[in-house]
Amino acid sequence: MAHTPKPPLVEIRGLTKAYVRGKQVVEVLHGIDLDIPEGDFVALMGPSGSGKTTLLNMIGGLDSPTDGLLMVNGQRIDDFGSNELAAWRARTVGFIFQSYNLMPVLTAQKNVELPLLLTDLNASQRARHADIALELVGLSDRAKHKPNELSGGQQQRVAIARALVSDPQLLICDEPTGDLDRKTADEVLKLMQTLNSQYGKTIIMVTHDPKAAEYARRIVHLDKGVLVDEAAH
């Protein structure tokens, strides 16, 4: 009996995004069609202003399309209201940004715990989840350190642990190595590759860096709001 192919984790059809500036309508994305299977690692590349971050933010539920269909794991998130979208993000997506966005007064462990404050877990359960996430990124020995006591690479690893702590299906990464030197960037990217290959995390990463993009399974290029081509590794 033939197997029915699994639907993609992310399914995008005719996705358009326009902003109104005064009397002018500026269309940033023009009818994007894109499928991202579960377990993929996609690098989104393109010149500044090509719409990469706009597309990433819509897949992560931080922004809504003007038109088109956007499904994640069989749910049409383009139809969600803001409260529904916030709850969906908390369950489904982990975010990693160029700036680590850590709370300077909190230890690494307490920073990692932050997303769990939105859950029903008690304090000891939150601490246990944070310990597991920090162990995963190789920072168990830095759990009690505050951000200013950590290197840039260690801070980004804490940010990755925070993104992982609620066990999201999808990791959304916007220039995650943009503030790091080459050696540290490669270490962080190898960690992301491991999260993808060994732990099955689906990763979508915006990057300007061709060397960073080489760590992905697939590179998708955007130019002036249009998908121009893609390459598999």
How confident is the model at residue 4, as a pLDDT? 59
User: Taking residues 44-55, what's their average pLDDT?
Assistant: 92
121-137, pLDDT tens digit by residue? 899 999 999 999 999 99
67-98, pLDDT tens digit by residue? 999 999 989 999 998 889 888 988 899 999 98
Tell me which residue of 155, 164, 96, 157 sits closest to 130, measured CA to CA.
164
Region of 29 (left: φ > 0; alpha: ψ -120 to 50; beta: rest) is: beta
User: Taking residues 196-207, what's their average pLDDT?
Assistant: 94
Is pLDDT larger for residue 106 or for residue 20? Answer: 106
β-pairing, 75-76 vs 93-97, is unpaired
Residue 230 has pLDDT above 90, yes or no: no
Kindly give, in sequence order, each residue whose CB lies less than 8 Å from that of residue 84, ignoring residues fewer than 6 positions away.
none
**Structural domains in the chain?**
38-66+86-232 (3.40.50.300)
Whole-model pTM: value is: 0.91
Three-class SS state of 224: coil
Helix (H) or strand (E) holding 221: strand 218-223
Do 194 and 201 form a contact (C-beta atoms < 8 A)? Answer: no
Counting residues of the chain whose pLDDT is more than 90, the rounded percentage is 73
- The gap from C-alpha 134 to its chain's centroid, in whole angstroms, comes to 18
User: Taking residues 202-216, what's their average pLDDT?
Assistant: 95
Q: Which residue's entry shows tokens 């009996």? A: 1
Residue 3 has pLDDT above 60, yes or no: no
How confident is the model at residue 82, as a pLDDT? 87
How confident is the model at residue 29, as a pLDDT? 93
Name the strands in the sheet holding 67-72, side by side, starting at the edge strand that comes first in the sequence.
Answer: 24-36, 10-21, 67-72, 75-76
Instruction: Quote the tokens at residue 117.
Output: 């404050």
How confident is the model at residue 11, as a pLDDT? 95
Residue 2 has pLDDT above 60, yes or no: no
